[in-house]
Structure 1
């Protein structure tokens, strides 16, 4: 590929299904960026919960500073230490993948329960390998955190531009919750990226990402609408899977930054 592709945006999502954090740089690990989806919320039956069922989760905004995560919801704030967790291991699943997790602390679980409106607990994945995901395409097994399936999601700028040309109400890339946004020349050409390097990190493309109803949740308001999935399904439906962005894995640890070139 002779075109120049540049990293435009980097995001992490410390707690699964809560709002993300825009970063200028991030440290890539096998399970995903450092502090990306290392935490998630479980209900009283130890089942994970997401924006799919509870759109209000998009209105919880995390920030990381001085070894602590601060969550803001409306006019309320709560913080906890990145390193803290209780000692009792909990067995759960992320979709079909077995996962072993630890509750952060009782006060944090109560804060989320009070503001979401039902009993839940915040849990953390501690060890690399405490959740494994087998790719349906390659049959390879990856160590992942609490992302739906793969450690990283990459999207191209032209893919969003092409979609917005078809929408009456324009949207931002935040609807698709990417980790890496790359400037591209053509819509959806990121699907065909194979092996490439960004900054210090070699990446491998696994497969394009099938999207669900969650992309219809407006992250600014927490209101679920019919778009963009309705429009996207008209031209990106492949074998009953609506595709946008592509799932990738990192092959080594290292730093990537906004402004880095994608090197093939």
Structure 2
């Protein structure tokens, strides 16, 4: 008999705002899972580019194969080396956070620019500490990757089931881009998780995650609709923020796997 609270799915998103990759196990690090949002596209102002402005970004599908990352878009494939980067540092920005990044290579930036129809650069964050995010709630600063705010996002299965019970058109968990999906008893109980262990890793819950228009982008088609944000806003609006899932940090490094029990 499986534990009530156990890991059902694990995802990483190597390039910020592109499609994710489902994994059976992942190596948790302070900045997030290994290879999770270590890359992003920036515009000519050196600011991050996301599905909020360009929903078509959901149609770029990454795959990690050995020491390479392959990106598929409309049956075209482009690849680059995981450890590849140019030597000149770029001072970029993710929301209010300054981030030191490095361009992967000119050919990859041109490929993305051609496909998206505007000039952009694929960059990589190299090491822990190259971006720091301050939690206004905890008055604490965290080393993070290129994710919006925190290294990990966890969602309980009952939260999605409860939402789908209110929607005419059912959606999948991919709308919310979680890193960890766990089986739960009640909708949104993950909001109140404190400190817990999965596999080799201890996690700390920071705060429920406020959601934006990006969850309305159908990841299978790259089309923005009115749901699920419209429905969520009716019962998950707290202090003008629509909450779904919760943000975590890891307190140590290690491996977690699908099937691992969540130990409180």
User: TM > 0.5 between the two?
Assistant: yes
Q: Is 1:249 aligned to residue 249 of structure 2?
A: yes
Distance, in Å, in 2 between the alignment partners of 1:178 and 1:4 is: 19
The C-alpha deviation readout for 1:111-136, integer Å capped at 9, x for no partner, is 00000001101000001000000012
Runs of 4+ in 1 over 2 A off after TM superposition: none
Distance, in Å, in 2 between the alignment partners of 1:176 and 1:212 is: 10
In structure 1, the partner of 2:66 is: 66
Q: Give the TM-score normalised by structure 1.
A: 0.99
Distance, in Å, in 2 between the alignment partners of 1:8 and 1:180 is: 8
The C-alpha deviation readout for 1:30-53, integer Å capped at 9, x for no partner, is 000000000000111211100000
Distance, in Å, in 1 between the alignment partners of 2:4 and 2:219 is: 30
Q: Is 1:154 aligned to residue 154 of structure 2?
A: yes
Summarize the alignment of residues 5-154 of structure 1 with structure 2, pairs less than 5 Å apart.
5-154=5-154
In structure 2, the partner of 1:215 is: 215
How many equivalent pairs are there?
262
Distance, in Å, in 1 between the alignment partners of 2:35 and 2:136 is: 26
Distance, in Å, in 2 between the alignment partners of 1:127 and 1:164 is: 39
The C-alpha deviation readout for 1:198-247, integer Å capped at 9, x for no partner, is 00000000000000000000000000000000000000000000000000
Distance, in Å, in 2 between the alignment partners of 1:146 and 1:178 is: 15
In structure 2, the partner of 1:174 is: 174
In structure 2, the partner of 1:237 is: 237
Q: Give the TM-score normalised by structure 2.
A: 0.99
Q: CA deviation at 1:4?
A: 2.5
Q: Equivalent residue of 1:71, what SS?
A: strand
Q: Equivalent residue of 2:203, what SS?
A: strand
